[in-house]
Amino acid sequence: MRWCLRQTAVSLAVLAALTGGSASAALERLTFQRAPSGHLLVPVQINGQGPYIFLFDTGASHTAIAQPVAESLGFQSNWIRTGDVQSLTTRFEAERFALNRFEFAASGPVDIDSVVIPVSPDDANPVAGLLGADAIVARRYAIDFSAGTLTLDTATPQNADGRVSPIGLLVSPAYIRRSVGRINVLIDSGSAHSIVNPRLARYIRQRSGTVPVILNGVDNAIDMEAAPIDIRRFQIGSLCVGHFNALKSDLDVFGAMGWEYEPAMVLGMDVLRHAVITVDRDTGIVQIDAADENNSCAR
């Protein structure tokens, strides 16, 4: 089985402060906590223990847990049960660990066969894990990235803007000016910034020079130089964004998705913060709307 996951570091001090907050008491809706980076965070209980702070990651097909946290819950590394993991930057083998009675505010307990993230015990800044698609038990749900809410058992989406991939990831076509044509997009709330592949960058104005970037993959952090890319008149579903800055990088995940020779993008929280995304797992439909009128294509 293949998994698409990512680890993103968030300050431990910030997370400690966030755990003191209260989640929505309603069974149908969860209000996320928001990190300074813009990522959405949620406290979870595992087998009655916690709360543990997990990062909500639409780019993760399976829930993952940091190895030190897993060890505190009884995990012992023996490399008997393993599976391949596809991160943004590489593909590698990782161990698996059963999380019993995994639950968060908007969901009843569920048993999850998680992926163990190989985080060093000396790493002072990891989140406890990534909350992936397998942790959401509802057949239909909506994510309002602007309001920071997850609503379960929503109405059936009307517009098929994107689709749910066979492993549970959210993908959609997008467009940048009429001359570019269709762009393949992976919707990834685990990424702070949107990243375009070299094929797409050929069609877009590239600013001079590069900027230093740290990409936090599942297995390690990679320091790299990336070229800033100006994205203008971007449309995905009913969401239209006039301008934002992305980064160009030849990420391993583009090849894993079969997009290395096609224009493609990882859509991060810099754009998703303007979106409302509704998912219907039964039909495989993903609907993408603007969170407000300022970014609506109909305005």
DSSP labels for 27-59? SSEEEPEE-TTS-EEEEEEETTEEEEEEEE-TT
Query: Is-contact 127 117, C-beta < 8 A?
Result: no
**Predicted local distance difference test score (pLDDT) of residue 181:** 87
Residue showing tokens 């894993």: 256
**Predicted local distance difference test score (pLDDT) of residue 6:** 40
**Tokens of residue 202, six digits:** 């050929």
**Predicted local distance difference test score (pLDDT) of residue 224:** 58
Distance of alpha carbon 87 from alpha carbon 136, whole angstroms: 20
Query: Is-contact 163 279, C-beta < 8 A?
Result: no
What residue ranges of the chain are covered by domains with CATH 2.40.70.10? 2-152, 162-294
User: Which of 65, 60, 151 minimizes the C-alpha distance to 106?
Assistant: 151
Query: Is-contact 196 267, C-beta < 8 A?
Result: no
Sign, CA torsion 243/244/250/253 = negative
Confirm whether pTM is higher than 0.75: yes
H or E element, residue 91: strand 91-104
**Predicted local distance difference test score (pLDDT) of residue 219:** 43
* Backbone φ and ψ of 131, nearest 5°: -90, 105
**Predicted local distance difference test score (pLDDT) of residue 205:** 66
Q: Does domain 162-294 have CATH number 2.40.70.10?
A: yes
The CA-to-CA distance between both ends of the chain, in Å, stands at 43
User: Which of 87, 100, 95, 267 minimizes the C-alpha distance to 175?
Assistant: 267
**Predicted local distance difference test score (pLDDT) of residue 179:** 65
**Tokens of residue 269, six digits:** 């929280």
CA distances from 34 to 4, 192, 222, 243, 273 (A): 23, 12, 24, 23, 11
| DSSP conformation class of 156 | P
**Tokens of residue 193, six digits:** 């910034």
Q: What digits encode the pLDDT tens for the residues 110-133?
A: 999 999 998 877 776 668 999 999
Distance of alpha carbon 46 from alpha carbon 236, whole angstroms: 36
Give the CATH superfamily of 2-152.
Acid Proteases (2.40.70.10)
- In this prediction, the residues of the chain whose per-residue pLDDT falls under 70 are 1-27, 106, 124-126, 178-179, 205-225, 299
